[in-house]
Chain A
Amino acid sequence: MAITGRDAFLGRVRGALGRSPGAPELDSATHIGLSVEDVRRSADDVRREMTESADALLDAITESAATAGWKVRRVASPEDAADVVAQICAEAGATKVLRSDQDIFASVPVDAALESKGITPGIATVGEAGADVSILKQAAFDSDVGITGVDYAIAETGTVVLHPRKGLSRLLSLAPERHIAILNRGDVLPSLDELFTLERADYNDGAIEGSMNLISGPSRTGDIAATIVDGIHGPLEVHLVIVG
Chain B
Amino acid sequence: MLPTTDRFKKGAKETLADPVIQMSMEAVYTGFHTNRQSAAAATEGWDEQRDRGRAIKEHTIANLDYYLEMLTDKIDENGGNVFFANDSAEATEYILNVARARDVKTVIKSKSMVSEEMSLAHEMEAVGIEAVETDLGEYIIQLAGETPYHIIAPAIHKSQDQVAEMFSEMTGTDPGQTPEELTTTARGMLRETFQRADMSVTGVNFAVAESGSIVLVTNEGNGRMCTSIPRVHVAVMGMEKIVPSMQDLGMMLRILIRSATGQRISSYVTMINGPRREEEEDGPEEFHLVIVDNGRMKLLADPKLREALYCLRCGACLNACPVYRKVGGHSYGWVYPGPIGAVVSPVMSGLKQGKDLPFASSLCGACREVCPVKIDIPNMLLHLRQQVVEGPPEDRSVGRIERLGWKAWRFGNMKSSRFWAGGKLANLLGRPFARKGMFRRLPPPLSGWTRSRDLPITASSPFRDRFKKRRPNSSGGEE
A12-B297, A223-B137 known; A31 and B248 CB under 8 Å?
yes
What is the 8 Å Cβ interface bit string for chain A, positions 82-121, against chain B (1 contact, 0 not)?
0000000000000000000000000000000000000000
Chain A hits for B267, CB < 8 A: 69, 215-220, 234
Contact A13–B239 (Cβ < 8 Å): yes
A193 to B245, CA, bound (A): 12
Chain A hits for B300, CB < 8 A: 13, 16-17
Contact A169–B135 (Cβ < 8 Å): no
A21-B65, A233-B187 known; A192 and B253 CB under 8 Å?
yes
Contact B183–A224 (Cβ < 8 Å): yes
A5-24 contacts to B, CB under 8 A, are 5-6, 8-10, 12-17, 19, 21-24
Q: Is A35 an interface residue (CB 8 A)?
A: no
Q: Which of B68, B84, B246, B273 contacts A200 (CB under 8 A)?
A: B246
What is the 8 Å Cβ interface bit string for chain A, positions 19-48, against chain B (1 contact, 0 not)?
101111001011110100000000000000
A203-B211, A233-B190 known; A16 and B297 CB under 8 Å?
yes
Chain B hits for A199, CB < 8 A: 246, 271
Chain B hits for A64, CB < 8 A: 264
A203 to B245, CA, bound (A): 11
Nearest-Cβ distance from residue A210 to partner chain B, whole angstroms = 4
Q: Is B368 an interface residue (CB 8 A)?
A: no
A9-B291, A16-B300, A214-B268 known; A220 and B219 CB under 8 Å?
yes
Q: Is A66 an interface residue (CB 8 A)?
A: no
A27 to B264, CA, bound (A): 28
Contact B52–A29 (Cβ < 8 Å): yes
Contact A211–B183 (Cβ < 8 Å): no
What is the 8 Å Cβ interface bit string for chain A, positions 146-181, against chain B (1 contact, 0 not)?
000000000011110000111111110010000000
A13 to B293, CA, bound (A): 10
What is the 8 Å Cβ interface bit string for chain B, positions 216-237, against chain A (1 contact, 0 not)?
0001111011011100000000
Tell me which of A67, A68, A133 has the highest count of chain B C-beta atoms within 10 A of its own C-beta. Answer: A133
B163-201 contacts to A, CB under 8 A, are 163, 179-180, 182-184, 186-187, 190-191, 194-195
A24-B66, A192-B254, A234-B220 known; A9 and B86 CB under 8 Å?
yes
Q: Is B154 an interface residue (CB 8 A)?
A: yes
Q: Is B386 an interface residue (CB 8 A)?
A: no
Q: Count the A residues whose beta carbon is within 8 Å of the partner chain — how many?
A: 85
Contact A220–B220 (Cβ < 8 Å): yes
Contact A226–B27 (Cβ < 8 Å): yes
Nearest-Cβ distance from residue A236 to partner chain B, whole angstroms = 9
A164-B281, A234-B221 known; A10 and B80 CB under 8 Å?
no
Q: Which of A29, A165, A210 contacts B275 (CB under 8 A)?
A: A210
A69-88 contacts to B, CB under 8 A, are 69
Q: How many A-B residue pairs have CB under 8 A?
A: 296
Tell me which of A136, A158, A169, A224 has the highest count of chain B C-beta atoms within 10 A of its own C-beta. Answer: A224
Chain B hits for A166, CB < 8 A: 279-281
> B54-62, B118-126, B421-429, B459-467: which one contacts chain A?
B54-62
Chain A hits for B254, CB < 8 A: 192
B351-408 contacts to A, CB under 8 A, are none
Residue of A nearest to B289 (CB): A3
Q: Is B270 an interface residue (CB 8 A)?
A: yes
Q: Which of B80, B84, B154, B180 contacts A4 (CB under 8 A)?
A: B84
Chain B hits for A169, CB < 8 A: 281-282
A170-B227, A170-B282 known; A219 and B59 CB under 8 Å?
no
Q: Which of A32, A174, A223 contacts B135 (CB under 8 A)?
A: A223
Contact A156–B264 (Cβ < 8 Å): yes
Contact A210–B277 (Cβ < 8 Å): yes
Contact B246–A196 (Cβ < 8 Å): yes
A200 to B246, CA, bound (A): 6
Contact A165–B228 (Cβ < 8 Å): no
Chain B hits for A158, CB < 8 A: 264-265
Contact B187–A232 (Cβ < 8 Å): yes
A186 to B90, CA, bound (A): 50
Q: A3-B84, A34-B247, A225-B158 are in contact. List 15 more A-B contacts (CB 8 A).
A: A1-B76, A3-B72, A8-B84, A15-B301, A16-B301, A32-B244, A193-B251, A200-B246, A216-B268, A221-B137, A221-B219, A224-B179, A232-B136, A233-B220, A234-B225
6 A-B pairs closest in CB distance: A234-B221, A29-B55, A192-B250, A31-B247, A223-B137, A226-B27
- 26 residue pairs of the A-B complex, CB under 8 angstroms, read A4-B82, A5-B83, A5-B90, A8-B84, A17-B64, A29-B56, A30-B248, A170-B224, A170-B280, A171-B282, A191-B250, A196-B246, A199-B246, A200-B210, A211-B227, A219-B220, A219-B267, A219-B268, A221-B136, A223-B136, A224-B140, A229-B183, A231-B184, A232-B221, A233-B191, A233-B221
Chain B residues near A (Cβ < 8 Å): 24, 27, 31, 52, 55-56, 58-60, 62-66, 68-69, 72-73, 75-76, 79-86, 90, 94, 134-137, 140, 153-156, 158-160, 163, 179-180, 182-184, 186-187, 190-191, 194-195, 209-211, 219-222, 224-225, 227-229, 239, 243-251, 253-254, 261, 264-277, 279-283, 291, 293, 297, 300-301
